[in-house]
């Protein structure tokens, strides 16, 4: 009942900024100079109550850009081709919510199981779930298990690889980071006793990787007290299996979403990634093509890489699966049909499943064009309201073509600013507006 | 040359959510049950290069909402009435920039001095600057010095008080926080040696407080090696003055802006504070007053506390110095003059010096009113462009009064969403727009 199919999803659009090292169809995945020719699985303990965020929802289920944090973490693991399955361990009362998330965001490698009363019991449940099905038949037991927090969504594939390879060779491996603060020991009366020499100590972070047999044996052997109070898997395998974990320094992106402010930080990272590039569709008109070129340059100055194409047909249709932002330039008041067409292409490509896509419809009016905009406005709002339900944010910008250089430059400047802000902020409240550049 | 006047600024508008415990004119400041009847100063080392943010600007000078991070931290200390002076220690090459910040944001308690080659030398420079003027004459030496990082802007007055009182009584006091990660010791080959028992250790944070004579003596006595490699002031006073610092657990708000993502988090915290409440000015019309009441309720549901007043005259003018957001409802197309009036009152009150103020002009049109909006649009954009230079963000929203209940409800809902988003996001690119609700 509470498990989803396990399969490798090669067609999933890849996050901008991440490049798949997957060669579809190959059993062996070549990543850099290493090859992962053994089964790997991940366990994501997600049973925390998230007291520290200061929010009522546990932080792994907090939502930004229409998606709960845990789905971002799952996505990070799903797009790694050499990870076969992901066990998410949640509290009993969150099982339905978690299954709903798995279905809603089409997560295909995920198995959801319920947790135990402590972190270690939950991880052990997750580890056990990897070697048996609910009906008791055996699964392909992974060689290496990666354990990772559900609230560290930004771990990168190359680091997961390092941990995996080290775990295979050494039996266990864990991420470390330099200490941010000096660590001190306090006397029982609350006074400074001594401070630790900072260079000798490290912060132990996630992910950690283990040979399946090592972590399984450690949990089988460990005491009730370990299950109850232990915090470090690395410590357990050292104690019960004599395995000294290899420590690997990880990047700052391993950081854990802990407080409410971290959710804002996570949102800003995702928004930053989504607004790295845009695609301007200029249509057939010369004037529109000129504006597209100017926009390409001015948005480039603001750090956004802009492709200019004339349409979304043939080879150009590739943009639909690589860009998160589309600027459609049009000379024609009736050209909302272009927006509609783009919308339905995005829907066919299932593009907006994981991230909201932005469409900015730029209406370049000739000076003579003094048509009333009221009808246009209403049509735009209707269109945008419908699109929002499909996770596409549609905005409109109008500008008048002007022969007066200064006026025109001012308009283009404003067009650049507004477009950049709409793409960066992705504010749902402003959809369907016709802004003036 | 590089020092600003030192005085207590009682009239500075207080941050929303913070309540001044200052009783202007009293020598002794009563805060809770404790009294600070001795001179207190702060030293903010701000010489860091900010490598970890991944930005070229040192993080203390990174800007959000038009103001550099360090100015937020200075403001936090300036509004504490019992702190007499704040020494900011910066690298030589940042002296001009820092002086410019002090002048631009009217910081009045600040003395800027240049730092040394290490953190400890910089702090010592700051400490020394508190006991002598540039011309060699003596200042009133503080009894207690608080040392705080320039990149921890959210420390609260009550915590500064705790540190100050403990420092006065014990000679030294420092903030601690529970460890976020397990701390482990690595072997020289990079393997796990052992992990520390988490409950026995704490992260040492800022602020720290010292009797002036204690910290001064510690620095006079300490070795070159301490100046070069030492990280903990608490350690120095223990070693050279035999002073065991009192450790006080602080709130998560002590957190240090370290990475680029932390700047986004800091910005979201400030934006959150600025959008806690708004003031709706409804004018004399009954219809506008009704809309104001509805808006008050609907924005309340979204967590924003909304006051409704009829004008900004007399007692109502108090809102000008307590609110950061104004919604002016008007039935008249020519009523941009109301916006202008509000703008000039805000300017007189120097309200937008530290934070951008938002004015939303809501034009409630009757059904018959089908006036062309082009002129209105241009006037609005001009007005908003001028206001932006004064750190006031002006936006417009139009809605038609409708007798059809469903249409009207939809309009009010959209008005609520748009207003909330404009107040929360404070996007400069969208000023001067006339949005449709």
Task: Return the residue in A181, A226, A269 with the most chain B beta carbons within 10 A, the one to mutate for interface testing.
Answer: A181
Can you spell out the DSSP letters for B241-276? Answer: H--PPEEEEPPGGG----SHHHHHHHHHHHHHHHTS
Looking at beta carbons, which residues of chain B come within 8 Å of A412?
none
Q: Residue ranges of the alpha helices (H) in A155-211?
A: 157-170
User: Do residue A174 and residue B181 have CB atoms under 8 angstroms apart?
Assistant: no
pLDDT tens digits for range A331-384: 876 678 899 999 999 999 999 999 999 999 999 988 766 666 677 888 999 999
Name the residue with tokens 């540039």: B134
User: Do residue B259 and residue A246 have CB atoms under 8 angstroms apart?
Assistant: no
Of A231, A238, A268, the CB nearest to B264: A268
Looking at beta carbons, which residues of chain B come within 8 Å of A246?
190-191
CB A416 within 8 A of CB B419: no
Sheet with B434-436, edge to edge strand ranges: B305-309, B277-281, B325-330, B357-365, B392-400, B434-436
pLDDT of residue B239: 93
C-alpha–C-alpha distance, residues A353 and B275, integer Å: 31
User: Do residue B204 and residue A190 have CB atoms under 8 angstroms apart?
Assistant: no
Which residues in B37-80 belong to E strands, given as ranges?
40-45, 63-64, 67-68
Pairing assessment for the beta strands B182-186 and A192-195 based on DSSP bridges: unpaired
User: Do residue B202 and residue A179 have CB atoms under 8 angstroms apart?
Assistant: no
- The encoded tokens of residue B53 equal 């943010």
Of A232, A256, A436, the CB nearest to B182: A232
Looking at beta carbons, which residues of chain B come within 8 Å of A430?
418, 421, 430, 435
For residue B313, give the nearest of B342, B337, B287 by alpha carbon. Answer: B342
Chain A residues 56-95 with CB within 8 Å of chain B? none
CATH topology of domain B276-436: Rossmann fold (3.40.50)
pLDDT tens digits for range B102-148: 999 999 999 999 999 999 999 999 999 998 765 656 567 999 999 99
C-alpha–C-alpha distance, residues A99 and B41, integer Å: 56
* Integer angstrom CA distances of residue B359 from A316, B338, B346, B410: 43, 11, 10, 23
User: Do residue B231 and residue A184 have CB atoms under 8 angstroms apart?
Assistant: no
Among chain B residues, the shortest Cα distance to A437 is held by: B433
Name the residue with tokens 């009993």: A92
pLDDT of residue A333: 67
Count helices and strands (H / E) in chain A.
13, 19
Residue A117 has pLDDT above 60, yes or no: yes
C-alpha–C-alpha distance, residues A214 and A237, integer Å: 7
pLDDT tens digits for range A295-318: 999 999 999 999 999 999 999 999
Distance from CA of A95 to the nearest CA of B (A): 27
User: Do residue A192 and residue B234 have CB atoms under 8 angstroms apart?
Assistant: yes
User: Do residue A184 and residue B256 have CB atoms under 8 angstroms apart?
Assistant: no
The ipTM is 0.89
User: Do residue A200 and residue B192 have CB atoms under 8 angstroms apart?
Assistant: no
User: Do residue B184 and residue A200 have CB atoms under 8 angstroms apart?
Assistant: no
Distance from CA of B279 to the nearest CA of A (A): 20
Mean pLDDT is highest, among A172-176, A284-288, A331-335, B180-184, for: A172-176
User: Do residue B204 and residue A191 have CB atoms under 8 angstroms apart?
Assistant: no
Distance from CA of A245 to the nearest CA of B (A): 5
Other Cβ atoms within 10 Å of A429 Cβ, number = 18
Looking at beta carbons, which residues of chain B come within 8 Å of A414?
429
**Does B198 reach chain A within 8 Å, measured CB to CB?**
yes
C-alpha–C-alpha distance, residues A98 and A89, integer Å: 9
Domain boundaries A275-436, corresponding CATH code = 3.40.50.360
**Does B184 reach chain A within 8 Å, measured CB to CB?**
yes
Size of interface A-B (CB pairs under 8 A): 183
Backbone angles phi, psi at B8, to 5 degrees: -95, 130
- State which H helix or E strand residue B165 sits in: helix B157-170
User: Do residue B192 and residue A234 have CB atoms under 8 angstroms apart?
Assistant: yes
Burial string for A7-19 (b: 16+ CB within 10 Å, else e) reads ebeeebbebbeee
Among chain B residues, the shortest Cα distance to A198 is held by: B231
Among chain B residues, the shortest Cα distance to A203 is held by: B183
User: Do residue A433 and residue B429 have CB atoms under 8 angstroms apart?
Assistant: no
- Axis-axis angle for helices B233-241, B212-221 (nearest 10): 80
Residue A182 has pLDDT above 80, yes or no: yes
C-alpha–C-alpha distance, residues B82 and B109, integer Å: 11
Distance from CA of A200 to the nearest CA of B (A): 6
Of A181, A259, A264, the CB nearest to B264: A264
Query: First vs last Cα of chain A: how many Å apart?
Result: 54
User: Do residue A429 and residue B436 have CB atoms under 8 angstroms apart?
Assistant: no
Looking at beta carbons, which residues of chain B come within 8 Å of A244?
187, 191-192
Residue A281 has pLDDT above 80, yes or no: yes
**Does B371 reach chain A within 8 Å, measured CB to CB?**
no
Other Cβ atoms within 10 Å of A26 Cβ, number = 12
Task: Return the residue in A191, A194, A426 with the most chain B beta carbons within 10 A, the one to mutate for interface testing.
Answer: A191
C-alpha–C-alpha distance, residues A160 and A167, integer Å: 10
**Does A378 reach chain B within 8 Å, measured CB to CB?**
no
C-alpha–C-alpha distance, residues B326 and B324, integer Å: 7
Among chain B residues, the shortest Cα distance to A187 is held by: B200
User: Do residue B262 and residue A259 have CB atoms under 8 angstroms apart?
Assistant: no
Looking at beta carbons, which residues of chain A come within 8 Å of B180?
203, 256, 258
Q: Where are the domains of chain B?
A: 29-269, 276-436
Q: How confident is the model at residue A131 (pLDDT cuts 50, 70, 90)?
A: confident
**Does A202 reach chain B within 8 Å, measured CB to CB?**
yes
User: Do residue A259 and residue B245 have CB atoms under 8 angstroms apart?
Assistant: no
Of A186, A205, A252, the CB nearest to B259: A252
For residue A21, give the nearest of A11, A7, A34, A31 by alpha carbon. Answer: A31
Distance from CA of B55 to the nearest CA of A (A): 14
Biggest CA-to-CA distance, chain B: 83
pLDDT of residue B57: 86
Which residues in A256-349 belong to E strands, given as ranges?
277-281, 305-309, 325-330
As averages over each run of 10 residues, the pLDDT of chain B (437 residues) reads: 35 37 42 76 86 73 97 98 96 95 97 94 95 67 96 97 98 95 92 88 96 97 91 91 96 93 97 97 92 97 96 93 96 83 94 97 81 78 96 96 91 97 97 96
Instruction: Give A127 or A133, the one with higher predicted confidence.
Output: A127
Residue A180 has pLDDT above 60, yes or no: yes
Q: How confident is the model at residue A229 (pLDDT cuts 50, 70, 90)?
A: confident
* Integer angstrom CA distances of residue B386 from A418, B330, B389: 18, 21, 6
**Does A52 reach chain B within 8 Å, measured CB to CB?**
yes
Looking at beta carbons, which residues of chain A come within 8 Å of B147?
none
C-alpha–C-alpha distance, residues A289 and A309, integer Å: 9
C-alpha–C-alpha distance, residues A415 and A417, integer Å: 6
CATH homologous superfamily of domain B29-269? Answer: Spore Coat Polysaccharide Biosynthesis Protein SpsA; Chain A (3.90.550.10)
Residue A23 has pLDDT above 80, yes or no: no
Of B181, B259, B425, the CB nearest to A203: B181
Distance from CA of B315 to the nearest CA of A (A): 34
Task: Return the residue in B429, B432, B435, B437 with the most chain A beta carbons within 10 A, the one to mutate for interface testing.
Answer: B429
Sheet with A325-330, edge to edge strand ranges: A305-309, A277-281, A325-330, A357-365, A392-400, A434-436
For residue B360, give the nearest of B415, B301, B321 by alpha carbon. Answer: B415
For residue B206, give the nearest of B71, B368, B24, B45 by alpha carbon. Answer: B45
Residue B194, class by beta-carbon neighbours within 10 Å (0-12 exposed, 13-18 middle, 19+ buried)?
exposed
Looking at beta carbons, which residues of chain A come within 8 Å of B382?
none
For residue B78, give the nearest of B115, B96, B105, B98 by alpha carbon. Answer: B105
Distance from CA of B159 to the nearest CA of A (A): 16
**Does B182 reach chain A within 8 Å, measured CB to CB?**
yes
Other Cβ atoms within 10 Å of A296 Cβ, number = 18
């Amino acid at each position: 009942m509470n498990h989803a199919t396990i399969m490798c999803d090669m067609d999933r659009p890849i996050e901008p900024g991440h490049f798949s090292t997957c060669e579809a169809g190959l059993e062996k995945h070549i990543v850099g100079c290493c090859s992962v020719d053994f089964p790997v699985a991940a366990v994501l303990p997600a049973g925390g109550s998230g007291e520290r965020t200061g929010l009522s929802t546990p932080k792994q289920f907090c939502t930004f850009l229409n998606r709960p944090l845990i789905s971002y973490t799952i996505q990070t693991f799903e797009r790694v081709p050499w990870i076969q399955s992901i066990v998410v361990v949640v509290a009993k009362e969150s099982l339905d919510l978690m299954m709903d998330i798995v279905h809603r965001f089409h997560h295909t490698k995920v198995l959801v199981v319920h947790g135990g009363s402590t972190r270690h019991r939950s991880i052990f449940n997750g580890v056990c779930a990897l070697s048996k099905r609910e009906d008791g038949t055996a699964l392909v037991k992974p060689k290496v298990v990666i354990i990772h927090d559900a609230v560290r969504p930004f771990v990168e594939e190359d680091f997961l690889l390092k941990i995996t390879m080290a775990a295979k060779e050494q039996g266990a491996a864990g991420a470390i980071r330099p200490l941010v603060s000096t660590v001190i020991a306090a006397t029982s009366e609350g006074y400074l006793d001594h401070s630790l020499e900072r260079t000798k100590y490290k912060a132990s972070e996630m992910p950690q990787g283990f040979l399946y047999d090592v972590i399984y044996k450690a949990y089988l052997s460990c005491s009730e007290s370990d299950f109850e109070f232990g915090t470090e898997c690395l410590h357990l395998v050292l104690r019960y299996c004599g395995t000294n974990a290899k420590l690997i320094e990880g990047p700052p992106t391993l950081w854990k979403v802990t407080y409410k402010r971290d959710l804002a930080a996570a949102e800003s990272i995702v928004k930053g990634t989504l607004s790295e590039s845009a695609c301007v569709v200029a249509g057939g008109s010369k004037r529109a093509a000129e504006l597209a070129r100017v926009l390409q340059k001015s948005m480039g100055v603001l750090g956004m890489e802009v492709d200019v194409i004339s349409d979304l047909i043939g080879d150009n249709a590739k943009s639909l699966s690589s860009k998160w932002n589309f600027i459609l330039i049009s000379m024609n008041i009736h050209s909302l049909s272009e927006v509609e067409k783009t919308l339905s292409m995005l829907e066919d490509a299932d593009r907006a499943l994981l991230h909201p896509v932005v469409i900015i419809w730029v209406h370049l009016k000739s000076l003579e064009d003094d048509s009333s905009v009221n009808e246009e406005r209403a049509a735009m709002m209707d269109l945008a309201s419908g699109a929002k339900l499909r996770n596409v944010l549609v905005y409109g910008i109008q500008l008048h073509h002007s022969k007066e250089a200064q006026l025109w430059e001012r308009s283009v400047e404003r067009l650049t600013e507004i477009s950049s802000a709409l793409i960066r902020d992705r504010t749902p409240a402003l959809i369907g507006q016709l802004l003036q550049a």
